[in-house]
Amino acid sequence: MPPARVRYLSEITAAVRDYNRNTDEQSAIATKLYQLDGVLGDLPADSNARPALERQQKQLEQRLLPLCKKLIDEWPATKELYQQESFGYDVRGKEIRQPLFSQSLSGTNIPRISVPRYKDWGDVLRWRLQENFPGKYPYTAGVFPLKRAEEDPTRMFAGEGGPERTNKRFHYVSSGQPAKRLSTAFDSVTLYGEDPDNRPDIYGKIGNAGVSIATVDDAKKLYSGFDLCDPRTSVSMTINGPASIVLAFFMNAAIDQQCEKWMTANGKAAPGGGTRPEYNNPSFPGVLPDGNDGLGLALLGLSGDQVLTSDVYEKIKADTLSQVRGTVQADILKEDQAQNTCIFSTEFALRLMGDVQEYFIKNQVRNFYSVSISGYHIAEAGANPITQLAFTLSNGFTYVEYYLSRGMAIDDFAPNLSFFFSNGMDPEYSVIGRVARRIWAKTIRHVYKGNSRSQKLKYHIQTSGRSLHAQEIDFNDIRTTLQALYAIYDNCNSLHTNAYDEAITTPTEESVRRAMAIRLIINRELGSVRTENFVQGSFALEELTDLVEEAVLTEFDRLTERGGVLGAMERMYQRNKIQEESLYYESLKHSGELPIVGVNTFLDKKGSPTVLPGEVIRSTTEEKDQQIANLRAFRKRNSGERAQRLASLKEVAISNGNLFEELMQTVKYCTLGEITNALYEVGGQYRRNM
């Protein structure tokens, strides 16, 4: 990997601060021009004062930048666009038109977008340069002009037992929803790149706190019954160390689904014979869950290129890659800083991420995010909201620098980057999206010269798991509701609400239903969310946005002083700061200075003891044994190919080829554990700096 630059964060802070300073200066000029225009309008034409005032006006106009003059001149026409009955905008060459007003039960016309009433040109200019309408630079109010009308920004996290049990949960949480937004939790065995096994340190963890996935067949079962190329289907995978391998599982599962559909349409059956794997859960043997039509199961044990001609398969593959939607987390920097599920050396992990992105560019994978740059785990480890945002954005800019160093163009990869934040109870969480979008847009535009698509920061919010308590667990839903409201008012692109019982167990179907209801009630019943920029114009919110933006830039300065993100990581700066902030929070909670209802204040007469769950959801012995048996059967079926495929993978690594391109073939014949152990030999295992 080329040497990391240590200048880029200072360049970013300078560019953003210059933009803010120029905004103040240009707004002050615009205000003076507005005042002069009013005075001149009231003066008689033959007034002796007019020549001097007109000279002053001309001098000020010369200092006003052409862009700023344009923003002021077009303001009346721009306002008019948002006061019509409907609004149209372009998405990839297709016009989308939506109504701009809805009617309340009382008969009031509620605007989708509220328009400022500013008259002073300085106020207008400042608002347009720092706030603006949703979908307009700097995207403070949102990256799209209007939200999709046909779906709610809902995404539920699920993962337990084997792939069949989690598949059943996916069909449960998406039942009746027009869009299928699936978020996948993996067990710790998978997260660390190991295979299910009878080893004592592995066996008990199989399928607990996440789903067990070790082969491409597991991935096919996990997402069966969901058309992965349907534009209404999107799959998120929370995995980092072995992200590229699991992503290759997913991509092959999606491709083989489409091969299966082609075979059905053309009357071609999958070849029989041999011992083929089956979709089977010990708790519901031989039965598919409600909503699962079996799509994705016909080619278990096979790959599409084994049953279709090369030209047909390659066309299906290309079409699939251009359509499939979703996200893989893959963010190795935050793993080192907070989460700890690192398996490869940091340099090799970055190379794998870069190889995935290069493959995406080469194969026109436009709708899938190659990395979800994550602040959630930084917050869960104890960071306050400003630190979460600063570390996450700085990690994002580090990936930008790395991809650029590999010769990729900013507009080719920036649209494949997404972000993931936590929302807690602190006031700064109410503006975390606004500040993130604003800093990202200013930087990509002015430092990296990226286009408007690259400037749009899209992010997922999950309500704070750290704010869930095992005491008075019913109160957790109240906290989650408020955090969800923060996120929706802040125009997040996707939202997950935690279940109230997650402090003590994997969520039950009942608690998950309640968690989903929180979002649906806000989106469908709360009248204020009909206005998509409902919080814009608040004095407090705008001031808080400016304060948090400057606080983030100040943290960038601290990182720059330590040699940038990678230099600071070598000194363990990020980890130490997160731990200090975690200790501060815990000490205030323990002393009662930070009131938490039902935990250290407003206790019930029994003292609000910790709730003991009646049942803790765990994978069963039958599920664990089935995963091990399935793995052994996979290895047996592919024993003739395994050694050659792993040798080829290591050769590509040594010769500096694209590893993800090779992994797309390797995963058809090799297991997760076999692949990670082969890569350890050429890329090294993770060792923390001490």
Distance CA 324, CA 232 (A): 10
Question: What pLDDT was estimated at residue 2?
Answer: 45
Residues linked to residue 87 through DSSP beta bridges, in sequence order: 98
Distance CA 510, CA 492 (A): 26
Distance CA 138, CA 438 (A): 5
Distance CA 189, CA 207 (A): 8
Phi, psi of 550 (to 5 degrees): -70, -35
Three-state SS for 181? strand
Q: In 3D, which of 374, 324, 391, 357 has the Cα closest to residue 576?
A: 391
Average confidence (pLDDT) over 564-582: 96
Question: What pLDDT was estimated at residue 273?
Answer: 64
Place of tokens 């194969």: 363
Phi, psi of 180 (to 5 degrees): -100, 105
What percent of the chain is predicted at pLDDT more than 90? 87
My answer on whether omega of the bond before 415 falls inside 30° of 0, hence cis, is: no
Question: What pLDDT was estimated at residue 274?
Answer: 66
Average confidence (pLDDT) over 124-130: 98
Average confidence (pLDDT) over 456-467: 96
- Residues 156, 160, 163, 166, CA torsion sign: negative
Q: What is the pLDDT of residues 599-643, one digit of tens each?
A: 999 999 988 888 887 777 789 999 999 999 999 999 999 999 999
Distance CA 499, CA 501 (A): 6
Question: What pLDDT was estimated at residue 690?
Answer: 60
Question: What pLDDT was estimated at residue 659?
Answer: 98
Q: What is the pLDDT of residues 282-311, one digit of tens each?
A: 767 778 999 999 999 999 999 999 999 999
Q: In 3D, which of 221, 220, 157, 155 has the Cα closest to residue 186?
A: 157
CB 631 within 8 A of CB 199: no
Query: Within 10 Å of residue 287's Cβ, how many Cβ atoms?
Result: 13
More confident residue, 109 or 269: 109
More confident residue, 509 or 674: 674
Place of tokens 């814009």: 536
Give this prediction's pTM: 0.95
Angle at 384 between CA 541 and CA 154, to 5 degrees: 70
Question: What pLDDT was estimated at residue 334?
Answer: 98
Tokens encoding 206? 């199989």
Question: What pLDDT was estimated at residue 311?
Answer: 97
Query: Within 10 Å of residue 450's Cβ, how many Cβ atoms?
Result: 23
Residues linked to residue 95 through DSSP beta bridges, in sequence order: 90
